């Protein structure tokens, strides 16, 4: 089966909201080659398939944050509609309500992207454990290094961007 959408493109559309990895209705509609309106109508006709842990509507604050942090979502800035966010399970359910061949094929790619992101997350956890065990073996001279490594592994708090590292030209 051909990859009709590169997994990297999908991974760039997955982000964290309310502690869950989600994709927005607009991005999903684009991947499925349907309008956001058509996607949301299909969902509304099948609302029983989308409990709150599968799909939720963004708040105004969440929408503003997403628009600020994701350049490709600038078009949502002046939209009066609050977008829907779909968790991995909600995305899986979407292919059944859309039913097109493309929806099925794109859905497979989206599931692979979620799996890749989960695998990367596990790698960070393993790395964190290794750093913790190394920290116990070495003396205080390396504390600065261990603190910096741990800081790099922590995601920035919601709404806060990481400081750029490296040399800055004044």
**What is the pLDDT, as a whole number, of residue 154?**
67
| Candidate from 81-85, 131-135, 162-166 with smallest mean pLDDT | 162-166
The answer to whether the pTM exceeds 0.95 is no
What is the pLDDT at residue 37? 92
pLDDT at 1: 47
Alpha helix ranges (H) inside the chain: 7-11, 25-32, 36-45, 60-69, 88-98, 101-137, 143-153
Closest among 72, 73, 63 to 159, alpha carbons compared: 63
- Structural domains in the chain? 7-119 (3.10.260)
The pLDDT assigned to 44 comes to 92
The fraction of the chain above a pLDDT of 70, given in percent, is 61
91 band by pLDDT with thresholds 50, 70 and 90: confident
- Distances in whole angstroms, Cα of residue 32 to Cα of each of 10, 18, 19, 146: 11, 25, 25, 44
Average pLDDT of 146-166? 61
User: What whole-number distance in Å separates Cα of residue 135 and Cα of residue 61?
Assistant: 39
- Whether the pLDDT of residue 162 is over 60: the answer is no
Report the C-alpha gap between 156 and 14 in whole angstroms. 16
Segment 34-62 shows an average pLDDT of: 90
The pair phi, psi for residue 128, each rounded to 5°, is: -60, -40
Q: Give yes or no for residue 155 having a pLDDT over 90.
A: no
State the average pLDDT over residues 129-142. Answer: 66
Q: Any idea what DSSP says for residue 4?
A: S
């Amino acid at each position: 089966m051909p990859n009709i959408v590169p997994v990297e493109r999908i991974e760039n559309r997955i982000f964290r909201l309310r502690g869950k990895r989600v994709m927005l209705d607009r991005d999903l509609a684009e991947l499925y080659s349907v309008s956001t309106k058509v996607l949301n109508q299909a969902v509304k006709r099948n609302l029983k398939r989308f409990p709150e842990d599968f799909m939720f509507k963004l708040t105004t604050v969440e929408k503003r944050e997403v628009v600020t942090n994701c350049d490709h979502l600038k078009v949502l800035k002046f939209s009066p509609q609050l977008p829907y966010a779909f968790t991995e399970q909600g995305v899986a359910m979407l292919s059944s309500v859309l039913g097109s061949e493309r929806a099925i094929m794109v859905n497979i790619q989206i599931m692979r992207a979620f799996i890749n992101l989960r695998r990367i997350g596990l790698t960070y956890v393993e790395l964190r454990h290794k750093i913790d065990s190394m920290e116990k073996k070495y003396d205080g001279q390396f504390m600065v290094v261990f603190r910096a490594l741990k800081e790099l592994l922590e995601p920035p708090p919601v709404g806060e961007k990481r400081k750029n590292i490296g040399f800055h030209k004044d």
